[in-house]
Amino acid sequence: MQQNRLTWMIGGPQGSGINASAEVFAKACSRAGLRVYANIEYHSNIMGKHSFYRVRVGDEDVRSYRDHTDILVALDHETLAGDVDHRRWTTHYGHLHEVNEGGGVIYDSDIGYEPPADRTDLRFFAVPFMEIIKAALDEIGKGDQARRYEVMKNTVALGASLALCEYPFDLVAEVIVGQFKGKRSEIGQLNVRAARLAFDHVRDHFDAAGFPYRLQPGPDHKARILANAYEIITLAKLRAGDAVQPY
């Protein structure tokens, strides 16, 4: 069992909200006293192209990302198998080969993915993302509007991940609520509910007890600073007396 040394990766098309879910997870970990290093790889377009976000977490200093991951979350088929089936020239072969032995792969059951027979060292979790979103919307009388809320797949994926590594759900729910202020608070609560349903789905439908990668709050549970690289560089320049014009 590996405790508090975890790399989590989420992949999907740009515009699918992978940034939001990865940053919520990173904040929830840093506020619980864990060290975090995260990075995103993306194309220079607004929507459609494949992108992915890694979050490495530990209770000791973390100064870089790792190429391999313990949990891979796929919002689409390309994250798992690459683009060999729909591009004239293949640009990548997916991220399945980057999952560590014993790792977990969470994916949308609607994408039509069949786990490869030669990866018996991994655990695959097909989760009905849209079904869970619809269930959350049904509770507030909006079940017929599920397609309008498809972007919430990212939150469903995060909730499923928490159940797998046994990270306290309430710590993440607090961060999600904090992302939606004022008139958007109802959306925040809806996202929390969708994440909770996904969390419960994994616990109810899969045997996650033997999953070897676990994550818990840091020993002192003291919140830590989480900052983007450009913010740190700007602060360093100001401290050194340089004039800075960010853009």
């290093």: which residue's tokens? 37
Q: How far apart (Å, rounded) are the C-alpha atoms in residues 224 and 238?
A: 21
Please indicate whether residue 244 or residue 137 has the higher confidence score (pLDDT).
137
List all residues 6 or more positions away from 178 whose beta carbon is below 8 Å from its beta carbon.
188
Q: Quickly state the pLDDT bin for 62 (edges 50, 70, 90).
A: very high
- The answer on pLDDT for 184 being more than 80 is yes
Residue 15: CA count within 13 A, CB half-sphere: 7
Q: How far apart (Å, rounded) are the C-alpha atoms in residues 245 and 247?
A: 7
- The confidence score (pLDDT) of residue 45 equals 62
Give the rounded percent of residues in the chain with a pLDDT score beyond 90.
73
Residue of 173, 185, 226 whose CA lies nearest to 62: 226
Q: How far apart (Å, rounded) are the C-alpha atoms in residues 184 and 141?
A: 18
List all residues 6 or more positions away from 121 whose beta carbon is below 8 Å from its beta carbon.
101, 102
Nearest-10 Cα torsion for 139, 72, 53, 184:
10
Report phi then psi at 92, rounded to 5.
Answer: -165, 165
- The confidence score (pLDDT) of residue 247 equals 63
Q: Quickly state the pLDDT bin for 71 (edges 50, 70, 90).
A: very high
Q: Which residues pair with 38 in a beta bridge?
A: 55
- The confidence score (pLDDT) of residue 187 equals 95
Most confident of 39-43, 77-81, 198-202: 198-202
Residues 195-232 have pLDDT tens digits of 999 999 999 999 888 899 999 998 877 888 888 888 88
Angle, in degrees to the nearest 10, between helices 129-138 and 185-205 = 130
This prediction's pTM: 0.92
Residue 98: CA count within 13 A, CB half-sphere: 24
